[in-house]
């Protein structure tokens, strides 16, 4: 009887054992299949059509952060860090039909900041830029350029080339501007990235300007900053001797604006109730060159702004 039981157990084990081995083999294959199906997503730069059927480039980083760039005006209209809301702000009255500059985002004031000999804030923000290249990968980017045309020559008869490269890197947005003098005579310019940042204006505060000299363009008065710059009315002020990094507390988060030293000034602006419909939703903290920049024949000037949140 014992031999019979042992024989039955052996037979049963012989039957079960292949089944166990088969299941183990299937599990091993499934694990290999899972591993082989894992794709490391790379960053991308895709040409698309945006609002008003305008040409755009969409940058998407591997971490999920994105940026949208319109070739009209060479303006970045959106920057969303991974899992976050838009850092930039586009006004509700913005037009996407080329009838006026796109109001918001990271637009240009070039080759003139503010009022002066040519149109306010220059022409770079209301002409078409040319897409030069796009780059996929860990740091997706796009490069665009602006060169003279009949419209610009009628205002400013200089032989220039302006190149901007927009890159997503390390969770941040980097905008690099290069101005080249292609002519035989020196020229000078002023300019800025007129950066619109999403913010609750009643809670917003600009940090990093304490102790800086400032010129209030509205009151036409000079002073020295004490503490953070807060918003309790209209502001249009230039700040001198600024540090590399400024911050904007928005009421929800803190945005960092890092500027190369070639941006010699900073500008803070809010229209306040002059824009009743939207002034509570944004603040402008600008990397600026209000002091004229001179570019020698064959020379160039490079400035970079990096925004993170």
Q: Note the pLDDT tens digit of each residue in 253-289.
A: 999 999 999 999 999 999 999 999 999 999 999 999 9
Instruction: Report the mean per-residue pLDDT for the chain.
Output: 91
Residue 21 phi, psi (nearest 5)? -60, -40
Task: Give the residue among 85, 259, 81, 105 at the shortest CA–CA distance from 194.
Answer: 105
| 3-state DSSP assignment of residue 49 | strand
Nearest-CA neighbor of 165 among 148, 177, 180? 177
pLDDT given for residue 18 in this prediction: 47
Ranges of residues in the chain whose predicted pLDDT is under 70: 1-41
Q: Buried b / exposed e across 32-42, counting CB within 10 Å, b at 16+?
A: eeeeeeeeeee
Q: Three-state DSSP class for 153?
A: helix
CA distance 81 to 252: 14
pLDDT at residue number 7: 43
pLDDT value at residue 38: 46
- Alpha-carbon distance 55 to 21, whole Å? 58
248: left (phi > 0), else alpha (psi -120 to 50), else beta? Answer: beta
144 — phi, psi (to 5°)? -135, 160
Specify the pLDDT at position 19.
53
pLDDT attached to residue 161: 98
Predicted pLDDT of residue 42: 84
Position 124 scores a pLDDT of 98
Q: What is the dihedral of CA 94, 96, 101, 104, to 10 degrees?
A: 40
Distance, in Å, from the CA atom of 60 to the CA atom of 62, rounded to the nearest integer, reads 7
pTM score of the predicted model:
0.86
pLDDT of residue 8: 41
Q: What percent of the chain is predicted at pLDDT more than 90?
A: 85
pLDDT tens string 165-190: 999 999 999 999 999 999 999 999 99
Structural contact between residues 177 and 164, judged by C-beta atoms closer than 8 angstroms: yes
Residues in CB range of 216: below 8 A, 6 or more apart: 222, 223, 235, 236, 237
């Amino acid at each position: 009887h014992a031999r019979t039981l042992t024989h039955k157990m052996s037979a049963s084990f012989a039957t079960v054992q292949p089944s166990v081995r088969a299941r183990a083999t299937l599990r091993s294959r499934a694990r290999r299949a899972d591993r082989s199906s894992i794709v490391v997503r790379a960053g991308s730069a895709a040409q698309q059509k945006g609002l008003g059927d305008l040409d755009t480039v969409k940058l998407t980083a591997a971490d999920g952060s994105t940026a949208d760039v319109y070739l009209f005006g060479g303006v970045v209209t959106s920057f969303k860090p991974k899992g976050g809301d838009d850092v930039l702000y586009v006004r509700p009255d913005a037009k996407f039909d080329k009838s006026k500059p796109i109001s918001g985002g990271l637009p240009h004031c070039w080759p003139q900041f503010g009022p002066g000999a040519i149109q306010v804030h220059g022409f770079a923000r209301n002409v078409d830029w040319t897409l030069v290249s796009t780059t996929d990968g860990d740091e997706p980017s796009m490069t665009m350029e602006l060169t003279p045309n009949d419209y610009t020559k009628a205002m400013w008869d200089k032989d220039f080339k302006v190149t901007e490269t927009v890159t997503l890197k390390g969770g941040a947005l980097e905008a690099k501007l290069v101005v080249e003098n292609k002519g035989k005579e020196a020229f000078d310019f002023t300019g800025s990235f007129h950066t619109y940042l999403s913010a609750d204006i009643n809670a917003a505060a600009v940090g990093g300007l304490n102790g800086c000299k400032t010129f209030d363009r509205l009151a036409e008065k000079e002073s020295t900053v004490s503490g953070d710059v807060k918003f309790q009315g209209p502001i249009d002020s230039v700040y001198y001797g600024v540090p590399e990094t400024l911050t904007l507390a928005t009421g929800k988060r803190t945005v960092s604006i890092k500027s190369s030293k070639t941006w010699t000034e900073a500008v803070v602006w809010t229209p306040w109730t002059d824009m009743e419909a939207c002034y509570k939703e944004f603040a402008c903290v600008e990397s600026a060159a209000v002091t004229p920049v001179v570019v020698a024949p064959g020379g160039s000037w490079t400035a970079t702004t990096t925004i993170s949140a």
